[in-house]
Structure 1
Amino acid sequence: MEKEELERELKVLQLKKQQNFSYIQEIYDAAQKLSDPNNANRVERRVASMDHVYKEFVKATERISIIQLTLKPTATVSFTEVNTMDEMYGYIKFKAESLKNQASVATATSVALAASQSNTIKLQPLDIPTFSGNIGSIWCCKEALALCKLSHGFTQVQLLCKQT
């Protein structure tokens, strides 16, 4: 490759590396402030794509080092940015996992709470005869309605409305 081509590739790789670093930095900053729901949502959404961005960052860094050594054999190669990226990556993964665990504990607690609440309140079933439309059976319904009125305080009209 010509020197000019290598320099162009170097420039593109440096911009790509910078963009990937900024992306991970943004997630890292959000992971440090998970008390804000917006930051928690950002971490949850972006943690899946973070693996790809991390790998691209490492590849770009390696390729940049190769090109720099090709252009200038006495150049010093430093991987401190990769170490920094490793630290941020690990921290984000840790925080995302703890966020996931908190969400599953909260869900389990709310399900248990809902189950315990639904088990505590139960009404006794009412046995009210239904009117079949046969005029001959209306008297047995009328007697049952009178009994219901006495025991529950409903008027006959209210009880008839409930049956229809």
Structure 2
Amino acid sequence: MPKIILHTEINAPIDVCFDLSRSIDLHQISTNQTSERAIDGVTTGLIGLNETVTWEATHYGITQRLTSKITAFQRPFYFVDEQQKGAFKLIIHEHKFEQKHGKTFMEDCFYFESPYGIFGKIFNFLTLENHLKKLLLKRNEVIKFYAESEKWKSVLAEKNYAKKP
């Protein structure tokens, strides 16, 4: 099963990074190139444990839908979303967060499996893994940009993130 592991260092509090990572609104901003939008379940705000969201997006010229569910959740350190319905045979996305020396270290572990046996494996090798990695890198760039600037306040309710002494 292919997996993509990414590490992102963010100069921002762990709570802000964690919540930006589960923000439906920020996800839509980070995926504007695929016109991704939430169409069912939690469609705005923050998604939490046992909640689902259905995304609609265009990839490779084909409009697709994918429903994912938050199956594990330990704020602000860890959450997992897993595909419930969609084109993939399997998607599991682990989001891990650690704070050290005033910075947040974010790790994404993205596991996926395509359908169609050997043809799916060839497609993974030729193009899909690279495509998914680019989407995740773009998403993490947007999270980092929003977290390190004042822009996070436009996505998250500022009152929940008062600076700690």
TM bracket, shorter-chain basis: under 0.3
Q: Greater Rg, structure 1 or structure 2? A: 1
Q: Which has the higher helix share?
A: 1
TM-score norm. by structure 1 comes to 0.26
Q: Which has the higher strand share?
A: 2
Q: Bigger relative contact order, structure 1 or 2, given CA contacts below 8 A and separation 6+?
A: 2
TM-score norm. by structure 2 comes to 0.26
